[in-house]
Amino acid sequence: MSQLIPVVDHAVINVDGHLDHAEALFTRMGFQLSARGHHSMGSSNHLAIFGENYLELLGYETEASDNTSIPKGLWQPPSGLAGLVWKTDDAETTYQHLEACQLAGEPPTTFFRPVMLPDGGIKDAQFCITRINACDIPNGFSFFCQHLTPDAVWQPVWQQHPNGVLELSEFVIVADDPLHAIQVYARIFAPRREIVQTGDTFYLQAGKTRLRFILPAQAKHEFTALPDDYSGQSRMSTLAFTVSSLAQLRTCLSKGDICFSETDSGIVVSPANALNVALRFHE
């Protein structure tokens, strides 16, 4: 079977039943968020669409959560950065590859959510996903997503953000043993030449987004704090974004009354101020 090419599709922040708070917070940060969407599987979301990838604030409406028909398995991951989603053009072939790697979760699943397009029309955004075995992704989930209707996600007008964000540039995973943490992705995206090591840090370039696996001391140094539930196991912790202008971003954060700090590598919003996720912005 041909080698899979690693390309990050989107990052998922699990906000549980706090969609209203998450929407307000990220709007204050200067992200343009989509209107609330409702998946056929019962979850709800807001998206911030970038060039190649996007950010998803995923949760559920509290009144809907009382409906016992809605599966609760999705909400087992911790609050905060909980999902790493990869692109695929063929979910069925990807599932077969994961089976060959002994990393397959459930078979491909199709679902949808209605979307209002910029011209006022309504279209179902349709997806087919196949998950990596949950046992191999502690403290979160990771799956491959085939977009059956990409125009229902990527529209130029939705890619313009007041804070100047252009792209999700980095996805950081912290672990007491970064080498062990990266092995699941090394197995999927073999050969290992895809993995770059610098000291105790490991990298995997995945399209416009770089995966970085670091030690907790490094995470504290760069982002002021770890997720408040960090226990030593692999934990998705930080997102970095490319912006057109740090000055424009600074203005947005100040106007939104968002606490941030300036570092040599950009502007950082700590996990305490961003739903248990560290955010870094750089030009």
Domain co-membership, 271 together with 252: yes
User: Is residue 92 domain-shared with residue 213, that is, in the same domain?
Assistant: no
Q: What global pTM score does this model have?
A: 0.94
Domain co-membership, 96 together with 111 = yes
Examine residue 109 and state whether it is found in any structural domain, yes or no: yes
Question: Residues 54-66: pLDDT tens digits?
Answer: 999 999 887 654 5
- Asked whether residue 235 is domain-assigned, the answer is yes
- Is 3 contained in some domain? no
Pairing of strands 165-174, 209-214: parallel
DSSP code for 131? E
pLDDT score at 1: 46
The reply to whether 13 and 125 lie within a common domain is yes
Strands 109-116 and 165-174: unpaired
The verdict on 104 and 242 lying in the same domain is no
Residue 2, pLDDT score: 56
280 DSSP β-pair partners: 240, 268
- CA torsion sign for 93, 49, 113, 38 is positive
Query: Is 123 domain-assigned?
Result: yes
Domain residues for the domain of 75 are: 8-158
Q: Is residue 58 part of a domain?
A: yes
* CATH code: domain of residue 213: 3.10.180.10
Do 154 and 164 fall within a single domain? no
Total domains present in the chain: 2
* Domain end among 158, 182, 211: 158
Note the pLDDT of residue 259: 97
Distance separating alpha carbons of residues 249 and 219, to the nearest angstrom: 22
Q: How many residues does the chain have?
A: 283
Q: Which helix (H) or strand (E) holds 100?
A: helix 91-100
Which of 136, 158, 180 marks a domain boundary? 158
Same domain, 235 and 182: yes
> Residues 137, 115: one domain?
yes
How far apart, in whole angstroms, are the C-alpha atoms of residue 259 and residue 262? 10
Residues 147 and 167 in one domain: no
- pLDDT tens by residue, 2-27: 578 999 999 999 998 899 999 999 99
Residue 178, burial from CB neighbour count under 10 angstroms (0-12, 13-18, 19+): buried
Residues 177 and 243 in one domain: yes
Query: Could you tell me if 131 and 182 lie in one domain?
Result: no
Give me the tens of pLDDT residue by residue for the chain, a chain 283 residues long.
457 899 999 999 999 889 999 999 999 999 999 999 888 777 899 999 999 999 999 998 876 545 445 444 455 788 999 999 999 999 999 999 999 999 999 899 999 999 989 999 999 999 999 999 999 999 999 999 999 999 999 999 999 999 999 999 999 999 999 999 999 999 999 876 689 999 999 999 999 999 999 999 999 999 999 999 999 999 999 999 999 999 999 999 999 999 999 998 999 999 999 999 999 999 9
How far, in Å, CA of 166 to CA of 157, rounded? 13
What CA–CA distances, in Å, run from 164 to 179, 248, 264, 279, 280? 34, 7, 19, 14, 13
Q: What is the pLDDT of residue 39?
A: 83
Residues 268 and 178 in one domain: yes
Is residue 89 included in any domain, yes or no? Answer: yes
Residue 2 lies in a domain: no
Burial level of 100, CB count in 10 A (0-12/13-18/19+)? exposed
Give dist(CA 205, CA 190) in Å, integer.
13
**DSSP character for 157?**
G
Using the 3D structure, point to which of 158, 173, 206 is the last residue of a domain.
158
Is the distance from CB of 110 to CB of 127 less than 8 angstroms? yes
